[in-house]
């Protein structure tokens, strides 16, 4: 079986990818510092290795011990607000740590590299639907760190033997309903849907909506939500894609946008709970709308997202209620 190294694989998205890889009978190695991840959420068929990408000596031990076919690199600090307050920490972890991983992949002849990037690299686009050719101009430091690594990968692959797929995630949400897989969830989430779930189950008093005066239909930000299981499926397809194709940058999204108030309304209907909210001032670095064209993923990977926003919220409520 092929050894797939999933860096940051104990995190929210990583644990779902690792589980699907195990189901497809890959030999899955998880490398994670457990800052945002949980060993309890991992498929028991995977092999867990504790470590940090900023510690290049510890990281290299994995490459020395295992013959690695492909790398899925997901490890990153990801708070938009936190990235502005702790820019040095984000630069060190997200940029230097990622260069460590890429450098070791080249040194040990790992030719296939999947990088977890973000829609935040687009900044505040001037078009309604964003495709991969849109100009990348991040407006927050988190987006900048991801964009920097994208550029580094593109450059280094032109002079070294490494091929990549860069996935620009839009808003990942939802959970697997596989029995026994997800037993722990984030304790202090930054993303909208987990916070909505906490308000619904009364573990949080209210949702803070950052701005209701954006140029959108109801004044609140619009985002493109994609189920984490759809993301996981795309990563397995990318590993196979790189066997016979060149590097690509690919959006992962549904192509449908929902405002914050849309999400609140749908969550109320599904949970049958009141979702209390309070309007607050805008946050720096939040674009009004981010919706993506995902036709490239559909064409190249033969991939189609399977889950609706309703199914995303239903899967989350099963875990939070």
Per-residue pLDDT for 64 more than 90?
Answer: yes
Per-residue pLDDT for 187 more than 90?
Answer: no
Per-residue pLDDT for 185 more than 90?
Answer: no
Q: Active-site residue numbers? A: 142
Shared domain for 215 and 233, answered yes or no, is no
Shared domain for 24 and 145, answered yes or no, is yes
Per the structure, how many domains does the chain have? 2
User: Do strands 163-169 and 112-118 pair parallel, antiparallel, or not at all (unpaired)?
Assistant: parallel
Q: What is the mean pLDDT of the chain?
A: 95
Contact 169, 119 (CB under 8 A): yes
Q: State the pLDDT confidence band at 106, using cuts at 50, 70 and 90.
A: very high
Per-residue pLDDT for 188 more than 90?
Answer: no
High-pLDDT (> 90) share of the chain, % = 88
pLDDT per position as a tens digit, 9-21: 999 999 999 999 9
Predicted confidence at residue 126, as pLDDT, reads 85
How is residue 98 written in tokens?
Answer: 């990622």
How is residue 216 written in tokens?
Answer: 């959108």
**Domain assignment present for 280:** yes
**Domain assignment present for 287:** yes
**Domain assignment present for 152:** yes
pLDDT per position as a tens digit, 136-184: 999 999 999 999 999 999 999 999 999 999 999 999 999 999 988 998 8
Predicted confidence at residue 79, as pLDDT, reads 82
**Domain assignment present for 179:** no
pLDDT per position as a tens digit, 26-38: 999 999 999 989 9
Predicted confidence at residue 233, as pLDDT, reads 97
Shared domain for 160 and 300, answered yes or no, is no
E strands within 92-198?
Answer: 112-118, 163-169, 171-173
pLDDT per position as a tens digit, 214-264: 999 999 999 999 999 999 999 999 999 999 999 999 999 999 999 999 999
Shared domain for 96 and 165, answered yes or no, is yes
11 CA to centre of own chain: 9
Shared domain for 230 and 311, answered yes or no, is no
- Cα separation values, 321 from 17, 67, 122, 180, Å: 24, 42, 35, 16
**Domain assignment present for 180:** no
Shared domain for 200 and 150, answered yes or no, is no
Predicted confidence at residue 81, as pLDDT, reads 80
Q: State the pLDDT confidence band at 190, using cuts at 50, 70 and 90.
A: confident
Shared domain for 303 and 267, answered yes or no, is yes
Q: State the pLDDT confidence band at 3, using cuts at 50, 70 and 90.
A: very high
Range of the domain at 241: 3-173+225-252
Per-residue pLDDT for 40 more than 90?
Answer: yes
Predicted confidence at residue 131, as pLDDT, reads 96
How is residue 148 written in tokens?
Answer: 């920097």
Contact 268, 275 (CB under 8 A): yes
Contact 237, 305 (CB under 8 A): no
Shared domain for 267 and 309, answered yes or no, is yes
Shared domain for 167 and 137, answered yes or no, is yes
Predicted confidence at residue 205, as pLDDT, reads 96
C-alpha span between 219 and 185 (Å, rounded): 30
Shared domain for 137 and 243, answered yes or no, is yes
**Helix, strand, or coil (residue 34):** coil
C-alpha span between 260 and 284 (Å, rounded): 17
Shared domain for 169 and 296, answered yes or no, is no
């Amino acid at each position: 079986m092929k050894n797939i190294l999933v860096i940051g694989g104990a995190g929210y998205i990583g644990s779902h990818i690792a589980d699907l890889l195990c189901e497809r009978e890959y030999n899955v190695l998880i490398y994670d510092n457990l800052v945002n991840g949980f060993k309890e959420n991992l498929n028991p068929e995977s092999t867990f290795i504790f470590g940090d990408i900023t510690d290049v000596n510890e990281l290299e031990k994995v490459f020395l011990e295992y013959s690695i076919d492909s790398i899925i690199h997901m490890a990153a600090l990801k708070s938009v607000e936190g990235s502005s307050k702790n820019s040095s920490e984000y630069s060190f972890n997200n940029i230097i740590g990622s260069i460590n991983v890429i450098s070791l992949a080249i040194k040990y002849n790992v030719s296939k590299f999947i990088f977890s990037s973000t829609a935040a690299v687009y900044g505040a686009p001037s078009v309604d639907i964003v495709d991969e050719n849109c100009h990348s101009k991040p407006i927050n430091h988190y987006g900048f760190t991801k964009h920097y690594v994208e550029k580094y990968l593109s450059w280094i692959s032109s002079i070294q033997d490494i091929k990549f797929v860069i996935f620009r995630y839009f808003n990942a949400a939802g959970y697997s309903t596989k029995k026994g897989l997800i037993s722990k969830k984030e304790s202090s989430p930054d993303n909208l849907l987990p916070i909505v779930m906490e308000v619904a189950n009364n573990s949080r008093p209210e949702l803070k909506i950052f701005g209701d005066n954006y140029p959108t239909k109801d004044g609140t930000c619009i985002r493109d939500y994609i189920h984490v299981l759809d993301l996981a499926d795309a990563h397995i397809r990318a590993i196979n894609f790189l066997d016979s194709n060149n590097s690509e940058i690919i959006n992962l999204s549904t192509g449908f946008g929902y405002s914050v108030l849309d999400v609140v309304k749908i969550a109320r209907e599904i949970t049958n709970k009141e979702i209390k909210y309070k309007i607050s001032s805008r946050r720096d670095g939040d674009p009004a709308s981010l919706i993506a064209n995902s036709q490239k993923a559909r064409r190249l990977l033969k991939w189609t997202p399977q889950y609706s926003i309703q199914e995303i919220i239903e899967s989350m409520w099963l875990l939070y209620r």
